[in-house]
Chains A and B, each alone.
Chain A
């Protein structure tokens, strides 16, 4: 089964994968918003999502470390990784202390901040072209770039909010 979704919050995405697993659908692959599921025993797996530090340098190292630790790497897309463990093997949480949780949200925040800046640049270029040529196509591009820029900015804020929550917890 395939489902198309766009998530901008990895915690909600994780909850959704968990819900799918409890209904007997295990994520097998992720690509560009398309999630491929295969049947499983209801609640068989616990899913976690992570963002790697580097563009490609530590991909293999990370994957083999996880496999060695009894974690299955389900799908990798870009720097995003989908991981799972059988629920019968006990609880599964990638990050168990506040510092490493803050680090993870910082990675995600920086990732989307870069995406926001890129998209903002795109927006300005398209806006400029639209104003000059008065072409409908450029207006559409400009609006699309603007919408994505706002979306990315929201993720940056969300991460910032979560980081501040965690820092407060830490005291």
Chain B
């Protein structure tokens, strides 16, 4: 099995938030929004995760405008998309198998 999986919740949502160019603060906000405030990424957690995703080449630096000191934006790579969908497949299998429990709830 792919030893990159399962993804942590933080990594999963960061990948999702950089499907289009996004910067640090934007990632924190979007993740909080789409999870109804359940997943709030600490800036230290995000910083560490971004650096590890960059070194794995799952995301890349999209823009770094030195002159205007614009915020750095990140974008998912092909590898990142691949890993993301592998994880989605794994999650779908979990949900599919969870149906065996139906009737007990």
Taking a contact as CB atoms under 8 Å apart, the answer to whether B45 and A69 are in contact is no
Determine how close the nearest CB of chain B comes to the CB of A10; give it in whole angstroms. 12
Taking a contact as CB atoms under 8 Å apart, the answer to whether B45 and A100 are in contact is yes
Please tell me the number of chain A residues within 8 Å of chain B, measured between CB atoms.
21
Taking a contact as CB atoms under 8 Å apart, the answer to whether A94 and B9 are in contact is no
Interface residues of B in 18-75 (CB under 8 A from A): 23-25, 28, 40-50, 69, 71-72
Among B8, B28, B71, point to the contact of A97 (Cβ < 8 A).
B8
Taking a contact as CB atoms under 8 Å apart, the answer to whether A65 and B9 are in contact is no
Determine how close the nearest CB of chain B comes to the CB of A63; give it in whole angstroms. 11
Taking a contact as CB atoms under 8 Å apart, the answer to whether A99 and B44 are in contact is no
A68 within 8 A of B: yes
Binding site for B on A (CB under 8 A): 48, 50, 62, 64-66, 68-71, 91-97, 99-100, 103-104
Taking a contact as CB atoms under 8 Å apart, the answer to whether A100 and B23 are in contact is no
B81 within 8 A of A: no
Taking a contact as CB atoms under 8 Å apart, the answer to whether B9 and A69 are in contact is no
Chain B: which residue is nearest A104 at the CB level?
B44
Chain A to chain B contacts (Cβ below 8 Å), 7 pairs: A48-B44, A68-B72, A69-B24, A94-B45, A97-B10, A99-B10, A104-B44
